[in-house]
Amino acid sequence: MNQGSPEAAEEAEQGPEPPAGGAGRRGKRAAPAAAAPQPAKLSRAELYRPPTSEELTQLKETEDLFHSSLLRLQIEELLKEVTLKEKKKKKIDAFLHEINSLLSAIPETPETELTDQAWLSEDVKVPFLQVPFSVKGRFRFVPPAELKVVGSYLLGTCVRPEINVDIAVTMPREIFQDKDNLNQRYHRKRALYLSHIAQHLSKEKLFGSVKFAYMNSNHLKPILLLRPQGKDEKIVTVRLHACPDSDLFKPSRFYPSKNNIRTAWFMEQSTPKEGTTEPPTPHYNNSILCDTVMLSHLHFLSNAATDFPGMKDGLALLKVWLNQRQLSKGLGCFSGFLVSMLVAYLLMKRKIVKMMSGYQVLRSTLQFLATTDLSVTGISLAKDADPSLPVLDDFHQAFEVVFVDPSGLVNLCADMTASKYHQVQLEARRSMEVLDDRMVDGFQALLMTPKPMLRTFDHIFHLKHVSKLQGTCKKMQLLNELMDRGGNYVAAALPFIVSLLARGLSQRAQLVAHSLPQIPEWPIDAEPPKHKDVGPLTFGLLFVPEFAASTLEKGPQADHPEALEFRAFWGEKSELRRFQDGSICEAVVWEASTACQKRLIPEQIIRHLLKLHADIPESSICYTGALLESVIRTGKEAGGTGEEAMVSVVCSYDDLSRKLWNLKELPLTVTAVQGVHPALRYTDVFPPIPMKPIYSFHKRSRHFLLPSEEKPCPAYITPLKIICHMEGSGQWPQDKGAIKRIKAAFHLQLAELLRQQHQLVCRPAVTHTDVYKDGYVFRLQVAYHREPLILKEVVTPEGMLKYQDTEESRQLELETLHLPYLTSSLHGLQQQHPVFGSTSRLAKRWISAQLLSDSISEECVDLLVAFLFLHPAPFTPPSSPQVGFLRFLNLLATFDWKNNPLIVNLNTGLTDSDCTEIKNKFVASRSRLPVMFLATPKDQWSSMWTRERPSAQILQRLVLLASESLPALEEQLMDPLSDQDVKMVFRPPLDFYDVLIHLNPSQIPRLLESVDRPVKSVSRGVVKNSSATNILFPVVDYDPVQLYLQELRNAFDDLALFFYDKHGGEVIAVLWKPLSFQPQPFKVSSMRGRKVTILNNELVCVPNVEAILEDFEILGEGLVKSVEARTEKWTI
């Protein structure tokens, strides 16, 4: 029995077997014990035995390293999940034995010229791009000299779900000739060798599939993939690597500075040009050397792994970490093999010791990656310095990232770009921050959260047609790189393109990353994939928020020598400018007026530089940084996305609050003015625009206008609510009715004084005063700080006075205390993160488009979005609205609402212990709490913004919609060849509802806010104007659809739910409540909307659907166009 299994551990605890006499009895009783393990009976002495040294180290480690013992358990569970089970291992071993016997039985072939490939059958195509085709040399097939399993399978470090077993097939010496190191001869022999093996193995019944692939998508390195037959096909992929004897070639031929590809051969010229020197071919040399050291790498790693159980666990964790970040597959990836070598290096340098656990190995490796830049200072595993071997500087001249293997010859990071290594570095740095932050669940963030490019980077763009990189190679004169990379123009041009962009965006972006070129496997009878088959390349930009949107690129002074270089880099965009300090400098100025255009300056830079230096036309670049923002654009002109409108509202509000503070002749002074409308915290989906009414469009009353019946509904003017706190005084009455009257008097007085002292047009009412200023309407509401307390007073029958929350006092506290605090906190968050507002607006626009805006409060959505900015781990805080919105959908879809509170730490008002306390209390009283529980520093226990809504059903619907919208949207954004209609996720599915009420567009005041804007718009009786002062008061807060909805809900609340998109929706969707259709006993009092029928000889009431539908039309006369019943669900 395996020592690691729980049964074995149990047996060990129960002590030795009983003597033979008892064995019979035990045998019979053992079966149930195995099914349900019994607790081990320990004697008193054993129970109080001092802990062993192993237990002590475990306890110490848990205390020092892990924030909680939970993290340790989570890691142990994860390791169980990803390691290979014994049963599978046995199956895989059997499969390998069979492959072994098949390979040694493949027949030899006669010798032919390398270019004569007629001996291969038609069913197999050579898995190699033979360009140019003619090459010297002869080939014949001889069965392999040796077969060895190499790689992670033997070390026990392979990680599910993809189990790969690598077999090194050693090709015999006799098939090679002297100059096989030149002109791809070795590579072609290797490909022919594999083709012959494939041809024979494909006839065998043992295999479910026999396919070719490129090793890490490197065209020079085809491999053969074998999978077992039948239901085991998914278990394992065996990869055959053909390799030579380790001492077949002389190593000195392959130093990074040596040439092994002749230009004349590559360019297909008959004679080499006079006097040309051949360029070095380091990548080509490296690819041959890799094959010669496969077995020595295996020995090296197995030495490192002996007596080091933590290494196996640590590597499993590191591989999961790399997989979640999409770093471990493709050309130049940070592969599992590379990370194993890195751990072995750290062991050699004693940064890691064999005592360490898997978690410590993970931490030490991430720490090393975070602090070491291998693109500047390379590292080497070679022990004794042999003076004839190339030194690290030689490698740095040939490769971007340097990590030399134990032989001192091979660069393990040869194909990696500096940008990809910097991405790994950034991820490691971010991960270390997360592990050291007690507020974050590090396990979830590091190992369980996938980081696709779209959600990681602020902007993404695609290079649609990689074949355009051929032109880049010409323009940048990369012939030597092309020869070195075997004609692969994608691999040759990519590092140059990335460094070009990184230079152009040096101030604005902290990282310009690229996707790894990947080529899928292919059947053996198909032609090998071409270079262009990697599909579109994707680039990601991570911004420095302070500089990303600056319009100026300031260069050196005109008379400095660097000015020439600056001009050459920016081309005709560069011009001389005089600055305020009198200096005359080269500079580039980018055109952008609105915040939304400024966010897209990086796009202008990228398009300009790629056209100028890389010959890539604009049509080949698909930039998806801000595609989603079209749904929050205001008005027809494609100016901005409303940020500027919001700023002008806030300016007007600031001016008004100053005027209120300084009002003379008020009996009590104004102590505070606080805005509560979403526009005052930058999260109003469509911010108000200054308006002046057209009189002829309306009916007139004395001082104000009314909607006219003949005309369409006037434009919706939203009242911006402001709370005015009055100072306390002994004069305030202590009776709630009297307080209301005093407040009404204050509203009248405020209106009067604002008109006298500041000439503002006001319209007072009992509960508020409306003020028209700068084209906006502000709604002032007076507040007295003791009023909520007075509303809580209750006199008991015994005449005792006690305080308890009432609905009225709660509502008043929410409006006058909590909402102003939330608004000011989020206003502050917007100052820190300029895209917070736009992200929140996108989120609300989506919720509204799904017809759910009435089912979840705006404040709740604002807090959910704030969470993404305050707790972004494992990401960085969003720097573009689009990436923020994608993360919002992901949060909705993946957060465990049932078992966890969402803690939004505004102004970092909560400590670590507060959070723990909130979580514990939450678990203790879960059933009494709202389904979506949000805790903030000022509201730790009540989750006031989600107390009433969303209901469990609505939350479930939201989660479902988010989890379907997210992949649909990501697919659109990641596929540059589709039409990229991102509005698709903003169009709600209507087939889910029972009745649709279609509305008359001319009576919908916010029609222009709909996702698909109407082609021709109706006049709404206002003109844009912010300077009008003396006017008749416009129609405020008048939206007929909302009034109609209110009436529907009042009348039919017990029968149906009503859903509507308040931003210009043309449909009200109705869903019948299932319970209301059950027949109920006849009662005169409950006959509303019901009719009487006879069921089983009893009088019962059932809903009268026809009459209800008719009521829908009568209630909405003039507003309702038609009522469409979609289903027959109500037939009883």
Integer Cα distance of 652 and 378 in angstroms: 58
The full 3-state SS of 600-645, as one line of letters, equals CHHHHHHHHHHHHHHCCCHHHEEECCCHHHHHHCCCCCCCCCCHHH
- For 786-833, the pLDDT digits (tens) are 888 888 888 788 888 888 888 888 899 999 999 999 999 999 999 999
Integer Cα distance of 420 and 426 in angstroms: 10
C-alpha 666: how far from chain center? 54
> Between 316 and 61, where is the model more confident?
316
Q: Categorize the per-residue pLDDT at 565 as very low, low, confident or very high, splitting at 50, 70 and 90.
A: very high
pLDDT at 1014: 78
> Between 84 and 875, where is the model more confident?
875
> Between 777 and 715, where is the model more confident?
777
pLDDT above 60 for 1033: yes
The Cα-based distances of 993 to 962, 990, 1069, 1073 in angstroms read: 18, 6, 6, 11
Provide CB contacts within 8 A for 24, sequence distance 6+. Answer: none
Helix%, strand%, coil% for the chain, nearest 5: 45, 15, 40
pLDDT at 21: 38
Integer Cα distance of 646 and 640 in angstroms: 11
Integer Cα distance of 151 and 336 in angstroms: 9
Q: Tell me which of 113-117, 842-846, 1116-1120 is least confident.
A: 113-117
Rounded to 5 degrees, φ, ψ at 170 are -85, 120
The Cα-based distances of 185 to 247, 253, 838 in angstroms read: 17, 15, 58
3-state SS assignment for residue 875: coil
Both structure tokens of 244 = 């030579």
Q: Tell me which of 799-813, 866-880, 959-973 is least confident.
A: 799-813
- For 887-898, the pLDDT digits (tens) are 999 999 999 999
pLDDT at 872: 93
1087 forms beta bridges with none
1009 within 8 A of 686, measured Cβ to Cβ = yes
Please give the average per-residue pLDDT across 167-178, as a whole number: 89
pLDDT at 25: 37
pLDDT at 63: 59
- For 361-412, the pLDDT digits (tens) are 999 999 999 999 999 999 999 887 778 888 889 899 999 999 999 988 999 9
Burial annotation 686-699 (CB, 10 A radius, 16+ → b, else e): bbbbbbbbbeebbe
Q: Categorize the per-residue pLDDT at 271 as very low, low, confident or very high, splitting at 50, 70 and 90.
A: confident
pLDDT above 80 for 203: yes
Please give the average per-residue pLDDT across 708-712, as a whole number: 81
pLDDT at 823: 95
Integer Cα distance of 192 and 190 in angstroms: 6
Integer Cα distance of 813 and 784 in angstroms: 11
Please give the average per-residue pLDDT across 116-143, as a whole number: 86
Candidates 1069, 1066, 1077, 1071; CA nearest to 1103 is 1077
Integer Cα distance of 157 and 335 in angstroms: 13
Candidates 410, 463, 437; CA nearest to 610 is 463
Q: Categorize the per-residue pLDDT at 970 as very low, low, confident or very high, splitting at 50, 70 and 90.
A: very high
pLDDT at 746: 94
pLDDT above 70 for 206: yes
Provide CB contacts within 8 A for 1017, sequence distance 6+. Answer: 636, 1007, 1008
Angle ∠(131,132,137) on CA atoms, nearest 5: 110
Provide CB contacts within 8 A for 631, sequence distance 6+. Answer: 842, 845, 849, 983, 986, 1011
pLDDT at 32: 39
1050 burial type by CB count under 10 A (0-12 exposed, 13-18 middle, 19+ buried): exposed
- For 509-534, the pLDDT digits (tens) are 999 999 988 888 999 888 999 888 88
Candidates 1047, 1115, 1104; CA nearest to 1072 is 1104
Q: Categorize the per-residue pLDDT at 635 as very low, low, confident or very high, splitting at 50, 70 and 90.
A: low
pLDDT at 558: 86
pLDDT at 29: 37
- For 599-612, the pLDDT digits (tens) are 999 999 999 999 99
Please give the average per-residue pLDDT across 590-599, as a whole number: 89
Query: Residue 744: in which H helix or E strand, if any?
Result: helix 736-758
679 within 8 A of 725, measured Cβ to Cβ = no
715 within 8 A of 1022, measured Cβ to Cβ = yes
Both structure tokens of 250 = 């002389």
344 within 8 A of 304, measured Cβ to Cβ = yes
pLDDT at 767: 93
1028 within 8 A of 1092, measured Cβ to Cβ = no
pLDDT above 70 for 1087: no
Integer Cα distance of 311 and 339 in angstroms: 11
Both structure tokens of 511 = 């990282």
Angle ∠(166,410,178) on CA atoms, nearest 5: 90
pLDDT at 1086: 63
pLDDT at 1020: 74
Rounded to 5 degrees, φ, ψ at 213 are -150, 165
C-alpha 657: how far from chain center? 40
Integer Cα distance of 260 and 179 in angstroms: 10
DSSP codes joined into one string, 257-310: T---S-HHHHTT-SSPPTTPPPPP-HHHHHHHHHHHTHHHHHHHHHHHHTT-HH
Q: Categorize the per-residue pLDDT at 28 as very low, low, confident or very high, splitting at 50, 70 and 90.
A: very low
pLDDT above 50 for 23: no
Percent of the chain with pLDDT over 70: 93
pLDDT at 8: 36
542 within 8 A of 511, measured Cβ to Cβ = yes
Percent of the chain with pLDDT over 90: 45
Please give the average per-residue pLDDT across 189-193, as a whole number: 90
Alpha-carbon dihedral 197, 203, 205, 211, rounded to 10 degrees: 50
pLDDT above 70 for 16: no
Both structure tokens of 383 = 């022990």
pLDDT above 90 for 430: yes
Q: Categorize the per-residue pLDDT at 1019 as very low, low, confident or very high, splitting at 50, 70 and 90.
A: confident
Burial annotation 269-301 (CB, 10 A radius, 16+ → b, else e): eeeeeeeeeeebbbbbbbbbbbbbbbbebbebb
263 burial type by CB count under 10 A (0-12 exposed, 13-18 middle, 19+ buried): middle
pLDDT at 15: 37
pLDDT above 60 for 598: yes
Q: Which residue has the tokens 């594999």?
A: 194
pLDDT at 642: 83
Q: Categorize the per-residue pLDDT at 1130 as very low, low, confident or very high, splitting at 50, 70 and 90.
A: low
pLDDT above 90 for 421: yes
Q: What is the DSSP letter of 1002?
A: G
pLDDT at 27: 38
Rounded to 5 degrees, φ, ψ at 1102 are -130, 155
Longest dimension (CA), the chain: 116
- For 673-684, the pLDDT digits (tens) are 999 999 999 999
Burial annotation 103-126 (CB, 10 A radius, 16+ → b, else e): beebeeeeeeebeebeebeeebbb
The overall average pLDDT reported for the chain is 87
Residue type, 1087: M
pLDDT at 1103: 79
Please give the average per-residue pLDDT across 263-290, as a whole number: 85
